[in-house]
A and B are shown apart, each in its own frame.
Chain A
């Protein structure tokens, strides 16, 4: 049994599902952001694996993986700034207690 595309797809599926579970069940906004990072990493593994096994002629998958890493850094910066702002104004980082817009 040699290493193939399916191995990497299974790994990325498990990582994606773990990240989604963190997003669905965590109360802390920072933990939710960590779940988002796991999901983005799963997508990156898929991009690089498909680049190697399905389209090895060009490097577009790796280029897109680099773009996703950059945008994940942007997302982490802005998201954590929002967490800081919410903590300063509402004194909580638990997303189920941030309900000032709920009527």
Chain B
């Protein structure tokens, strides 16, 4: 599959967008705070050697209704439904931020649901001595620098609407993705994963941006210590929270190496 294929799957009565590209071992990707509004250089890079499948999470562009989800059981159930529908059960999973947290939660509830896990700056733990940043409470002009270590590029490539897109609808979609994250994470980004993390028996790669301004890079060790499977940490120098934007090639290479082992 050398071209990007977009199709819909039925998830619990809703139609949900799935992107697929590439050949080789299947890797599912669960997007981060802003969803997956467009096919990115990172996804393209990963699709060079893998069959990449990107199902849209609730609230993300192409995703289902997130406002019917209240507690973590609802979110895990919705994510399991989504993985089923996208034919990803048992596949290796790469997740970002809230998507990484949901991958870890799903594995904690039932570890055979995924193969290997790549968790990129996951949410889910909270340490009061170095708290996760309240990234919602940022002035609009602070958002780019909170998310990315390359704020000018991030503002241009991700926050701004793509050429020809409706600016208002782009902003609405971005706000909706952030609301979905709020629905899952408000206010401290912790839904009790610490109590379940030991149930994650999957081999796990934890990837963090050294300059993550949202979830401190020191959280990598906390996750690694809690997971029962083999857990390894890979810190990318100079990158911020949005690893797929800030270090697309290095991230894709780290994932290839880990899932290829």
- Are A and B associated in one complex? no
The chain B residues found within 8 Å of chain A, CB to CB, are none
> Which positions in A face B, CB cutoff 8 Å?
none
